[in-house]
A and B are shown apart, each in its own frame.
Chain A
């Protein structure tokens, strides 16, 4: 298996633009997670899905952020409009289920100018 695949690897955009991050989890994994990593705040869980259903989105910073999982093999995280403070590395991770380790993607380095 290729592991969790994220795209793009790097994204540079201007403030106010829409940004869409994409994730393909490992086949057969039931849970998918979006994390954000910054120097100041560390690793924060934004949202997680189980069987394509959002279970906990309490970490989504504000209405500018939205996430979808239309099927078991694809998820998106959208920021609209983007702001400089959204600059971070966004990780997608998947797991087979509860009490199982997370498999992380390579991350998307987002820079909002």
Chain B
């Protein structure tokens, strides 16, 4: 069964700084997803990474996938307060099976 681990669980960082959230998964998975959740709100899709070496960027966020290392990263550049949220990664258990297993989430707080 696929296990997805994120670290750190909590991250407090100052505006303008850079940081990386890590997502490790336990079994072969070619696809990795990142979601954002604001407090009391629903989840919003950020990135879909479909192959080894995939890199996607949107604004100050950049996600990458290394399937050989079973690792995905979410890099935050020059953080701003609006990025404060909980970030989840999720992996698919088996090719063709849409079942997503979510990580525990990283609660990010950007301090002015």
Contacts and interface: CB of A to CB of B under 8 A. Distances in A.
Interface of B: 31, 33, 35, 41-45, 48, 50, 88, 96-105
A82 interface: no
A50 to B, nearest CB: 7
Contacts of A56: 97, 99
Most chain-B Cβ atoms within 10 A of its Cβ — which of A33, A91, A104, A105? A104
Contact of A45 (B44, B100, B104): B100
Contact of B31 (A42, A95, A99, A102): A99
Nearest to A107: B42
A37 to B, nearest CB: 9
Interface centre among B35, B45, B104, B105 (most CB of A within 10 A): B45
A48 B98 contact: yes
A91 B42 contact: yes
Interface of A: 31, 33, 42-43, 45, 48, 50, 55-56, 91, 93, 95, 97-107
Given A42-B104, A101-B33, A101-B48, A95 B42 contact: no
A98 B96 contact: yes
Contact of A98 (B33, B42, B98): B98
B28 to A, nearest CB: 15
Contact of B98 (A31, A104, A106, A107): A31
Contacts of A50: 98
Contacts of A103: 45
Contacts of B100: 33, 45, 102
A97 B38 CA distance: 25
